[in-house]
Amino acid sequence: MTASHVGETVLVTGGTGYLASWMIAGLLQRGYRVRTTIRSLDKALQVRDAVSEQAGGQAAGTIEFAAADLLGDDGWDEAAAGADYVLHTASPLPFDAGADLITTAREGTRRVLGAAARAGVRRAVLTSSGVTADTGDPDTPATETTWTAPSGTPVRAYPDSKILAERDAWELAAATGLELTAVLPTFMQGPMLGTPNRPGTVEIIRRLLAREIPAVPNIGWNIVDVRDIAELHILAMTSPAAAGQRFLGSGTFLWYRDIARILREKLPNEAAKVPVRTMPDIVVKLLARRNPQMAMVRSELGRTRLVDSGKARTQLGWHPRPTEQTIIDTATALIAESRQG
């Protein structure tokens, strides 16, 4: 425990989330008091069990819980009261069936950061996304100075939700004097804490291992470890250099076929049947007519993205682990989970 953090309280929104659980564990390990929001207090035990794997049962037992929903006003002022910092990671995901992604993300951001401003917190850190800094040019790296324009199309509702919510956050900070920092992660992979209660980005690796897709689409991602993004949020929370700044958190760009190759090479017994054949683009386009997830990624066919996360490395001392290790750790965790199930 770091003595200087004793008594400092951090509010983490969306405590049942993939990223939030790693944030909570990291904060507890550093000696912070942690309060987290969940939509139903019935989920408190689930959060404690998940975090205890990493932080220990005694530390997990100290977590405070507040019931609050991104689409409702109730509970947010109480959740933020007395907090020194707020880490706002709660946001709807593209596979949340029936969710109005844009409305939920924007209204939730206003509610959380509004409560943070009224509570007088030292700093709020927003989990944005690398999609908010996309240059649109495969030869030009994304940097924190880039601002993506929303597309306004239904198939791009998730990227638009992140773009518009971050814009709202900076406007609110300017209007209220809230000290704000934004972290822009790219495609997160890495082990999950606890038992996941919904699909997530690691479904890509799970489906490859389970051979649920016969061939890999010609699509790639800038992969970054969820544990490193949790660390980046904590660095951004306290570093004087982070005030009013955006920080991209990204690792190496990998094609689907690269992920498949890594799995087969490094886990020859468990991943021997992972497909390595490339799915023709025309097949992906045909599937996109009926499959919403395929429709979301259709525009990514054959597209590489360059992302420069040097600012986080130089200004905050952020050191993400090798992307290949993230892939192996993710697969190993999924294999262990499937054996337990």
End-to-end CA distance of the chain: 35
Query: What are residue 265's phi and psi, to 5 degrees?
Result: -75, -40
Alpha-carbon span 298 to 281, nearest angstrom? 9
- Assess contact for 8 and 33: CB atoms under 8 A: yes
Question: What burial class does residue 224 get, using C-beta atoms within 10 Å of its C-beta: 0-12 exposed, 13-18 middle, 19+ buried?
Answer: buried
Closest CA relative to residue 232, chosen from 217, 219, 250, 216: 250
From 43, 162, 266, 273, active-site residue = 162
Helices 256-266, 323-340: crossing angle, 10 deg rounding: 70
- Assess contact for 154 and 94: CB atoms under 8 A: no
**In which region does residue 111 sit, left (phi positive, over 0), alpha (psi from -120 to 50) or beta (all else)?**
alpha
Instruction: Give CA angle at 259 (247, 16), nearest 5°.
Output: 55
Q: Up-side HSE of residue 124: CA atoms within 13 Å toward CB?
A: 31
Tokens 């509702």 -> residue: 157
In 129-179, which ranges are E strands? none
Question: What burial class does residue 142 get, using C-beta atoms within 10 Å of its C-beta: 0-12 exposed, 13-18 middle, 19+ buried?
Answer: buried
110 SS3 class: helix
Closest CA relative to residue 44, chosen from 72, 63, 17: 63
Is 43 in the active site? no
Closest CA relative to residue 56, chosen from 24, 86, 88, 80: 24
Q: Which residues are catalytic?
A: 162
